[in-house]
Structure 1
Amino acid sequence: MLKLKEQIAEGVGPLIKEAGYELVEVEIKGGGHSSIVRIFIDKEKGVSVEDCASISKKVSDYLDTEDLIQSRYTLEVSSPGLDRPLTRANDFNRKKGETIKLFTRDPQDKRNGLRGKIADYKEDSLYLETESETISIPAEMILKAQLLF
């Protein structure tokens, strides 16, 4: 059986995509008598307050119809913000040329905490342009990547 977070993502994902946005993440905080359900959305040119309100209505209607949440809940819809982590191919491709800080899963890897510009992302590898070279990092080795400002 799917977790509630995954059930919500599977249900609202197509609604959000149909409206022209990308579902970035579903987050659920709290529990028991009251929960906070956070839906993070994005699109290439950014997300406005009006965008969030529109998606909030669609998501709220879906959640109320499907009755997935058995307790009271507060729904929050927002953009992931400037410091959002980069986790998917689409995230990296959208931010080509941007400078990031990257952490890998290998604690012995000297590239941990590496900084560089996103050169490309293809075939499940990130190509990162550092001061001295362009390196290829397999996607499964990426623990965390975040934009630097």
Structure 2
Amino acid sequence: MNKKQIIEEVTSLVTPILEQGDYELVDIEFVKEGPNYYLRIFVDKEGGITVDDCVTITRALNPLLDEKDPIEPAYMLEVSSPGLDRILKREKDFERFKGEMVDVKLYEAFNKKKHFIAKLLSKTDELLTLEDEDEVINIPMKNVAIVRLAILF
């Protein structure tokens, strides 16, 4: 199985369990770092995720993943909050965080910049619309590498 297939299979397995506990699946990563593989499951819930939530979810998912065995190589399971600087990937992420400050990195320069920290106005399949110092910026989505919530100090 390739990485995309593994993520799809794990998503279908874990989503029902998470939904039973009123958790939201934010993202799944399957990565190799050095000699080790990691399956990272990012979850959220109303009010945020605690360490106890991560332990509870890990205990619920471990037996299921062991039984179904969707991943051939040995791996380490990590259950985590998406963090303060969470990546926005799904349409509902962009809807939920409209009006928030986002950190956007681009594949190639747009308006002579490859990095923007601005207010998220909207996102369509074609355009990411930001507001930066009262200027509206429409960036083609094909140029957007990553959008995450900005952490401002």
The two structures have a TM-score, normalised by structure 1, of 0.77
Q: CA RMSD in A?
A: 2.7
Match of 2:39 in 1: 37
Structure 2 counterpart of 1:65: 67
Range with greater deviation from structure 2 (78-87 or 34-43): 34-43
Report matched runs for 1:2-13 at 5 Å.
3-13=5-15
Pair 1:143–1:36, CA change in 2 (3 A): closer
Name the structure 1 match of 2:100.
98
| Equivalenced residues, count | 146
Cross-structure match for 2:24: 22
Unaligned runs of 5+ in 2: none
CA 1:137–1:16: 2 relative to 1, 3 Å: farther
The CA deviation string for residues 29-66 of structure 1, in whole angstroms up to 9 with x for no partner, is 459x9643221112342111222122212211211221
Stretches of 4+ aligned residues off by more than 6 angstroms: none
Identity of aligned residues (%): 37
Gaps of 5+ in 1: none
Match of 1:109 in 2: 110
Q: For residue 86 of structure 1, report the CA deviation from its aligned partner.
A: 1.9
CA contact (8 A) 1:44 1:94 kept: no
